[in-house]
Amino acid sequence: MAEGISDLTGSTFDETIGAASEPVLVDFWAEWCGPCKMIAPILEEIAAEQPGIRIAKVNVDEHSDIARRFEVMSIPTLILFKDGEPAKRLVGAKPKGALLEEIGEFL
């Protein structure tokens, strides 16, 4: 299902974010986080429906260094990177409509 959503690691993060010509929305998540599970299917839908944006995810359990680097203190946190730089940060699970509205200017 999630072929459109790539898993980022410490070694692929900078390259993926830096090389992307389109904005990249990164989902910081973990297996034990209920609200993260709730938004996962929404992100899959957005990945399939919105060609103008890339979606990737970071498992904070496995890659806590990336989470620390971007001062993630609560999950789910979504950070939208534009031209390699964080441009927007969303903390907490949200319904699809609200999420699309928040990132609308980047689509």
Partner 1 sequence: MSSTREVIIIGSGPAGLTAAIYTARANLEPLVIEGEPSSTSDQPGGQLMLTTDVENFPGFPDGVMGPELMSNFRAQAARFGAEFITAKVTRVDFSARPFGIWVGDDEYRADSVIVSTGAQSLMLGLQDEERLVGHGVSTCATCDGFFFRDQEIMVVGGGDSALEEATFLTRFASKVTIVHRRDELRASKIMQDRAVANPKIEFAWNSQVVALHGEQRLEAVTLEDTTTGQQHRVDVSGLFIAIGHRPNTDLFVGQLDLKDNGYLITDPDSSRTTVDGVFACGDVQDDVYRQAITAAGSGCMAALDAERWLEAQSH
Q: Provide the annotated active-site residues.
A: 33, 36
Q: What is the 3-state secondary structure (H, E, C) of 39-88?
A: HHHHHHHHHHHCCCCEEEEEECCCCHHHHHHCCCCCCCEEEEEECCEEEE
One-letter amino acid for residue 62 of the chain: E
Q: How far is the CB of 53 from partner 1 (least distance, A)?
A: 19
- Binding flag, residue 47, partner 1 (CB under 8 A): no
We find the least distance from the C-beta atom of residue 15 to partner 1, in angstroms, to be 25
Q: Vertex 98, ends 94 and 99: CA angle to 5°?
A: 70
Binding residues among 66-105 for partner 1 as defined by CB under 8 A: 67, 71-77, 91-95
1 makes contact with partner 1 (CB under 8 A): no
Structure tokens at 32: 């034990």
Task: Return residues touching partner 1 (CB under 8 A).
Answer: 30, 32-39, 42, 60-61, 67, 71-77, 91-95
